[in-house]
C-alpha cells in the first residue's frame, strides 16, 4: 500500500502525517474488502439453491469466475464434456463432488427447451442462431431451398454447398423437415 504523498513543505507535522497515512491505508483496505464482499455476494446469489451448489462454488471458481462456469446451457453429455475439459485444465475434483456438481449443472443449467428447427421454413436468422450456421451458410441453405424445393432428409441438407455435413449430423436432433 503506497502512502499518500504530502508536499515537502507541508504544514502538517510528521507524526500526524503518519497517522493520516495509516488511517487512509486502513480505509482503503476496508473499501477493498467491501468491494470483494459485494462481488462474491453477487456471484453467489446468481446460483439457484440445491444439492451440489456448495461443491460447485468450491471447485469452479479456482481458475475463472463462477459466472463463466455456468455461462452455457447444455444437456448431460454437454456438461460431462465440460467437466472432462476442466479436469484436463488441471481441476482435481474428488469423485463424490464430481457427481454432485455434474447433477447440479444438469438440473439447473439444462439445454434450452426450444422446438426443433424446420429447415424448410426457417429464416436465415433462425438457421444462424438455432443451428449455429455462419451467415454465408444460412444464405446458401435458403438459395438451395429456393432452387431445389423442400429438403426431405438430412442427406438433402448435407448437399448444400458450404455446409459442413458433420455439423449438420451433430445437430440432427434439432432439425425437422
Residues contributing to the site for ligand HEC (CB under 6 A): 59-60, 62-64, 68-69, 71-72, 82-83, 85-86, 89-91, 101
Q: Are 107 and 138 in contact (CB under 8 A)?
A: no
Task: Indicate the residue among 108 and 120 with the shorter CB distance to ligand HEC.
Answer: 108
Torsion of CA 101, 102, 105, 111, to 10 degrees: 170
Q: Which H or E run includes 34?
A: helix 14-46
Query: Minimum Å distance from CB 8 to ligand HEC?
Result: 47
Query: Minimum Å distance from CB 125 to ligand HEC?
Result: 24
Question: Closest by alpha carbon to 154, among 139, 135, 173, 134?
Answer: 173
Task: Indicate the residue among 58 and 121 with the shorter CB distance to ligand HEC.
Answer: 58
Which single residue is written with the C-alpha cell 485444465?
89
Query: Minimum Å distance from CB 44 to ligand HEC?
Result: 15
Task: Indicate the residue among 105 and 119 with the shorter CB distance to ligand HEC.
Answer: 105
Query: Minimum Å distance from CB 3 to ligand HEC?
Result: 36
Task: Indicate the residue among 66 and 124 with the shorter CB distance to ligand HEC.
Answer: 66
Question: Closest by alpha carbon to 118, among 143, 95, 145, 137?
Answer: 145
Residue count (the chain): 177
Amino acid at each position: 500500500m503506497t502512502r499518500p504523498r504530502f508536499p515537502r513543505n507541508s504544514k502538517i507535522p510528521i507524526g500526524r502525517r503518519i497517522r493520516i497515512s495509516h488511517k487512509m491505508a486502513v480505509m482503503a483496505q476496508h473499501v477493498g474488502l467491501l468491494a470483494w464482499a459485494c462481488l462474491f455476494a453477487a456471484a453467489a446469489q446468481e446460483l439457484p439453491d440445491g444439492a451440489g451448489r456448495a461443491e460447485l462454488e468450491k471447485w469452479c471458481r479456482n481458475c475463472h469466475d463462477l459466472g463463466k462456469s455456468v455461462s452455457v446451457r447444455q444437456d448431460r453429455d454437454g456438461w460431462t464434456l465440460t467437466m472432462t475439459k476442466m479436469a484436463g485444465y488441471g481441476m482435481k475434483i474428488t469423485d463424490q463432488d464430481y457427481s454432485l456438481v455434474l447433477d447440479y449443472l444438469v438440473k439447473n443449467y439444462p439445454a434450452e427447451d426450444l422446438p426443433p428447427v424446420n429447415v424448410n421454413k426457417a429464416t436465415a436468422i433462425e438457421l444462424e442462431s438455432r443451428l449455429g450456421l455462419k451467415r454465408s451458410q444460412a444464405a446458401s441453405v435458403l438459395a438451395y431451398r429456393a432452387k431445389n424445393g423442400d429438403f426431405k432428409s438430412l442427406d438433402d441438407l448435407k448437399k448444400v454447398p458450404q455446409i459442413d455435413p458433420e455439423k449438420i449430423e451433430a445437430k440432427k436432433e434439432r432439425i425437422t423437415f
